[in-house]
Amino acid sequence: MNQPGESLRDRKKRRTRAALERATVRLAAERGYDHVTVEEIAAEADVSVRTFFNYFASKDEALIGADPEAGPRMAERILAASDEVTPFEAYRQSVLAEITDELNNARDLWLLRKEVLMQRPDLLVRAFANSAESERLLANAVGRRAGLPESDLYPRLLVAAGSAAFRCAVTRWALDDSVALGDLVGDALELFGTGLAHVPPHHHEGGS
Amino acid sequence: MNQPGESLRDRKKRRTRAALERATVRLAAERGYDHVTVEEIAAEADVSVRTFFNYFASKDEALIGADPEAGPRMAERILAASDEVTPFEAYRQSVLAEITDELNNARDLWLLRKEVLMQRPDLLVRAFANSAESERLLANAVGRRAGLPESDLYPRLLVAAGSAAFRCAVTRWALDDSVALGDLVGDALELFGTGLAHVPPHHHEGGS
DNA sequence: GGATTGTTTTGCAGTCACTGCAACTTTGCA
DNA sequence: TGCAAAGTTGCAGTGACTGCAAAACAATCC
């Protein structure tokens, strides 16, 4: 009864984690992030407070619900990409793939998160603080791929640009979601790719 | 006795604020950020705990000690810049001026902060969450300067790139400070300006 | 100088996030 | 069925942070 797929235990864990994430987002959207206590979240998900903290290191983390395996997965993809493509391209595709996946699996959650993030934009920034480890991982992957020394700024910058792109895209998307979030991230990365020195002519825009 | 320069009151406030900032950084560098309580910091600065929180909204904020007027000041400079220069250039110069100033006035503090940030890189990220308001201000300034609509991604991206540049530069600098922090930020902004699509040939490096 | 007014500091009581630890329960496996 | 590993829970404790109302202080007016 130990299929490599998933044991009962694993399934339960996944469900509990998801329930906590959902509860956090739902309640926060409903009555405002800091009018919701962890106690209420835990109750909603039918576990103890202590269990909440076994799954998430902080309330912030639960709200964003960042997949701890996203970092390693992306690093993997970057290193696995064909040598034909530039490190930038490899990174870009890795990011977009991850985001597309995420949005397909949890579009409804993101719509709720949007409400919360509109009230408290700082939460999005803080969320990235938790993934400092993932950032280091990705930067290393990019650095190795580009054959650069540890001390080079480029890999770090590229990864930071990715975070920034995502962050800005979400902020913009929260303002008006007539353009898909994935496309906005794509646009943002495009701009970082070609450089910010000159104001770009135009991007998407609703339709003018 | 009310010189527009500075009243007794103002002087005292500045001194208290500075003392709290110094105490926070010094103690954190000495025994690690979370082995220092706000109570100890307040004691070191000779004020009550409650007063600490009158000056800083959080321990994080005190560690970074971001000047609340830096945002408005930079926005000012961006809008005041000659029409000859691109918005990017205006922003770049505004950032570099601010950072140069800061480093000239508090180089010693930054050397201590470095110790703390090497242990806990996430604190630097979190620090920027507090300046979400300043970011909005700057983005608006850039947007107006570039004649772009509210919804355009570019201004937000440029400002986010600035944060990222600073963040990465500090991280790199903490690793090896043989290159001046100001120069590293300059390099980073340069890269954002010309685009990340291709791996740059080389930057500073110790001396080759 | 002394009364008056506006500001800052402080103590206090309270809430809530988060942690370590030691039972207790559930699941995986023989 | 019985044992070991993994997961859950309660509990006690720490420490960041807030609101409030009183005390100390600085600027101003007479």
Rounded percentage of chain A residues whose pLDDT exceeds 70 = 94
pLDDT digits (tens, 9 = 90+) for B60-73: 999 999 888 999 99
* Across B140-163, average pLDDT: 96
Computed on alpha carbons and rounded to an integer, the radius of gyration of chain B in Å comes to 19
| Signed CA dihedral, B179, A195, A136, B32: sign only | positive
Tell if the CB–CB gap between B205 and A151 is shorter than 8 Å.
yes
* Closest residue by C-alpha to C1' distance, nucleotide C11: B50
Domains and their CATH numbers in chain A: 1-65 (1.10.10.60), 66-208 (1.10.357.10)
H or E element, residue B154? helix B153-175
Tell if the CB–CB gap between A195 and B193 is shorter than 8 Å.
yes
pLDDT of residue A202: 67
Contacts of A172 in chain B (CB under 8 A): 151, 153, 156
pLDDT of residue B203: 57
Rounded percentage of chain B residues whose pLDDT exceeds 70 = 94
Q: How far is the CA of A44 from the C1' of C15 (A)?
A: 20
Q: For residue A3, is pLDDT > 90?
A: no
Q: How far apart are CA A165 and CA A88, in angstroms?
A: 14
Q: For residue A90, is pLDDT > 70?
A: yes
**Residue recorded with tokens 């790199």:** B172
* Across A141-161, average pLDDT: 96
Average pLDDT, chain A: 93
pLDDT of residue A201: 82
Q: For residue B2, is pLDDT > 50?
A: no
pLDDT band at A141 (very low <50, low <70, confident <90, very high): very high
List residue ranges whose Cβ is under 7 angstroms from nucleic strand C.
A 1-2, 7-10, 12, 36-39, 49-50, 53, 57-60; B 9, 12-13, 16, 46-51, 54-55
Nucleotides of C under 7 A from a protein CB: 7-12, 16-21, 27-29
Q: How far apart are CA B147 and CA B141, in angstroms?
A: 10
Contacts of A199 (CB under 8 A, 6+ apart): B86, B87, B88, B146, B148, B154
pLDDT band at B202 (very low <50, low <70, confident <90, very high): low
pLDDT of residue B101: 95
Q: How far apart are CA B13 and CA A78, in angstroms?
A: 51
Contacts of B198 in chain A (CB under 8 A): 86, 88
* Across A102-113, average pLDDT: 94
pLDDT of residue A206: 45
* Across B80-107, average pLDDT: 96
Q: Which nucleotide is nearest to B1 (CA to C1')?
A: D27
Best mutation target among A93, A177, A198, A199 (most B Cβ atoms within 10 Å) is A199
Q: How far apart are CA B144 and CA B124, in angstroms?
A: 29
pLDDT of residue A65: 92
pLDDT digits (tens, 9 = 90+) for A18-30: 999 999 999 999 9
Closest CA to A191 of A204, A208, A206: A204
How distant is the Cα of B165 from the closest Cα of chain A, in angstroms? 7
pLDDT of residue B207: 40
pLDDT of residue A2: 43
Contacts of A95 (CB under 8 A, 6+ apart): A74, A162, A165, A166, A185, A189
